[in-house]
């Protein structure tokens, strides 16, 4: 498999992107990574590491899409950007999957423009893995569609179910609709109409409404919502997690006994930190795009990049796009409506 990596995308590129690529090669010996970006900067970083030089290729790209750039304008005008070139490698068949930690809006626009939607998909969605008590769950959409329609969310459930099956090997996963109450009829017009569509959809295992406070503590596998709400839930959870660890550290450092106790609990804290660390889950797949486009977190370190590459490789190896294309052919609700 060949994985194209936007080496200039992200807050710490190319330092962490190149390092993450090298780390990925240490764990995945059967892949080749194409690093896309300013050749001289990539080569400078590569000199720091020992790696199989036959497993890394470089594609020179002279422009960078910044986090502050207007997404659509940047994709259309910065033709020689590392992000554009990375997506083109997948489009042209030179790479099996792509990874970028760059501007999310630009990557969404670029993925749709270059890779196009799978036939029948109304809107692609950004999926993410969310930590939960029983097992990790799939949450979507977390940012691709700020304004959604009920039929979009209905399709998210179909695509998300296949995504969950692929990741965890669980058939007929339980699907919940994120809402402000569990009772049928709760919510705004979007959630009420979405509920009716989901309830009538015989291609999914719909269990009803899910409140945000219960996401991590209820028997559900896939939680669907609009991109505006999903993105706020995700970022709120990340912020709360970060705050709790900061507060815990401050309280521990206040007393000698606290410091001693922390030494004994260090393995527990490490395990908990890993469980809540978004970089451990790799990247988010743009679900519904006719090609594998993985979005790593903008502040990804090498570990996050490495894991995003591993996710991209898994979906490429498993021919996930072909499977999803077949599922969408069977979905009577699918269309190419813009």
**Number of domains observed in the structure of the chain:** 2
Give yes or no: residues 191 and 51 share one domain: no
- Does the residue 318 lie in any domain? yes
Give yes or no: residues 46 and 83 share one domain: yes
Distances 114 to 8, 85, 177, 187, 262 between C-alpha atoms, Å: 19, 10, 31, 36, 51
Q: For the packed helices 15-27 and 39-46, what is the interaxial angle rounded to 10 degrees?
A: 60
Give yes or no: residues 128 and 116 share one domain: no
Q: For the packed helices 256-276 and 227-252, what is the interaxial angle rounded to 10 degrees?
A: 160
- Does the residue 193 lie in any domain? yes
Over residues 145-171, mean pLDDT: 94
Q: Is 174 helix (H, G, I), strand (E, B) or coil?
A: strand
Give yes or no: residues 265 and 217 share one domain: yes
CATH number, position 315: 3.40.718.10
- pLDDT, tens digit, for every residue of 228-257? 999 999 888 888 888 888 888 888 888 888
Give yes or no: residues 65 and 126 share one domain: no
- Picking from 78, 137, 132, 142, the residue whose alpha carbon sits closest to that of residue 110 is 78
First vs last C-alpha separation in the chain: 33
Domain of 215? Answer: 122-278
Integer Cα distance of 197 and 177 in angstroms: 11
Integer Cα distance of 244 and 255 in angstroms: 18
Give yes or no: residues 91 and 186 share one domain: no
Q: Is the peptide bond before 14 cis (omega within 30 degrees of 0)?
A: yes
Does the pLDDT value for residue 269 go beyond 80? no
- Does the residue 283 lie in any domain? no
Give yes or no: residues 115 and 154 share one domain: no
- pLDDT, tens digit, for every residue of 279-328? 555 688 999 999 999 999 888 999 999 999 999 999 999 999 999 999 99
Give yes or no: residues 26 and 115 share one domain: yes
Q: What is the pTM of this model?
A: 0.86
């Amino acid at each position: 498999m060949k994985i194209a990596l936007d080496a200039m995308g992200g807050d710490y590129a190319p330092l962490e992107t190149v390092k993450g690529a090298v780390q990925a090669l240490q764990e995945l010996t059967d892949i080749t990574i194409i690093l896309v970006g300013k050749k001289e900067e990539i080569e400078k970083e590569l000199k720091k590491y020992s790696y199989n030089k036959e497993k890394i290729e470089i594609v020179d790209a002279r422009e960078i899409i910044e986090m502050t750039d207007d997404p659509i304008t940047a994709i259309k005008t910065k033709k020689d950007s590392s992000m554009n070139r990375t997506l083109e490698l997948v489009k042209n068949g030179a790479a099996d999957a792509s990874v970028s930690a760059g501007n999310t809006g630009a990557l969404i626009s670029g993925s749709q423009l270059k890779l196009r939607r799978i036939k029948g998909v109304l809107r692609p969605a950004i999926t993410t893995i969310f930590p939960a008590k029983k097992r990790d769950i799939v949450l979507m959409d977390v940012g691709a569609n700020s304004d959604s329609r009920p039929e979009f969310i209905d399709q998210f459930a179909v695509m998300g179910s296949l995504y969950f099956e692929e990741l965890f090997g669980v058939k007929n996963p339980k699907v919940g609709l994120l809402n402000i109450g569990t009772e049928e009829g709760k919510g705004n017009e979007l959630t009420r109409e979405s509920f009716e569509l989901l309830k009538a959809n015989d291609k999914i295992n719909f269990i009803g409404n899910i409140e945000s406070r219960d996401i991590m503590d209820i028997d559900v596998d896939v939680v669907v919502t609009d991109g505006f709400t999903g993105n706020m839930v995700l970022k709120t959870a990340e912020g709360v997690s970060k705050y709790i660890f900061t507060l815990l550290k401050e309280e521990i450092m206040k007393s000698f006994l606290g410091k001693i106790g922390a030494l004994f609990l260090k393995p527990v804290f490490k395990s908990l930190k890993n469980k809540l660390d978004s970089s451990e889950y790799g990247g988010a797949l743009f679900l519904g795009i006719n090609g594998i486009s993985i979005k790593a977190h903008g502040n990804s370190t090498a570990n996050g990049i490495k894991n995003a590459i591993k996710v991209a490789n898994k979906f490429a190896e498993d021919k996930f796009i072909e499977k999803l294309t077949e599922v969408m052919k069977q979905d009577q609700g699918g269309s190419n409506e813009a």
